Structure 1
Amino acid sequence: MAEIALFLSAFLAATILPFSSELAFVTALANDMPPLRALLLASSGNVLAICLNYWLGYWLYEATKTSLQSSKIGIKSLKYGHKYGYYALLLSWLPIIGDPLTLVSGVVRLKFVWFVMIAGTLRVLRYYFLTLVV
């Protein structure tokens, strides 16, 4: 049961919902869950959720591309997203701004493989460093 709770908390924390998985992660470790198991559960939930965010952003672009491509702000936003999107992903592990960045990555159509490599790795590293601290 604790494994499911940890996975779900990590998944929900990586969506736009205001949720934090760090407390659940630390609690799982404090209750003697093996660190590797906790790391795998939290990381997989979090990475799956950012992939969902990406694909929601991808779909959002399809639904709004006419209006995005017909406004100056939309065109400029897409241009900046393409130019700086991968650099912005370096902030995707942060609370509050990180999850919207994963959604925007889909909107600006960053390459999915690079998206997962950058954002996914940072999500796993966040839990890894938390394991070291606890």
Structure 2
Amino acid sequence: MISGVAGTIIWTENFPKLLRFYQMIFASEPKSIKGQFASFDFGSTKFGLGTHSEIEGVSKEKFRVMINLNTKDIFDEYRRIKDLGVKFIRVPEKENWGGWVATFLDPDHNVIQLIQQFDVE
């Protein structure tokens, strides 16, 4: 039985640029860097970046897979990331399910979403 998602990996041909971008977005250093692969840890979930021989250029279907990053305050994170020079393609908006979503692209044109979960008070 599957017990959860272990993590995700973004493959790229531009490892140094993506690594700098995600260090800036996460405001942290990776847990490990080995050659052209880096891994950030978020509890039991891993976020990896690395080079792959089958990857060339930027994402051709950027909306096929979206990586969702949880935040407790989407407006603070939106402002912080925007102030770093990142352009958002969707400003924070309330969703029908009660949470909030904001969307931006990484340098390889992968879709990244900030998610503020719905809080039941």
* TM-score, normalisation: structure 1: 0.27
Normalized per residue, the structure richer in helix is: 1
Which of the two has greater strand per residue? 2
| TM-score normalised by L of structure 2 | 0.29
- Whose RCO is larger (CA < 8 A, sep 6+)? 1
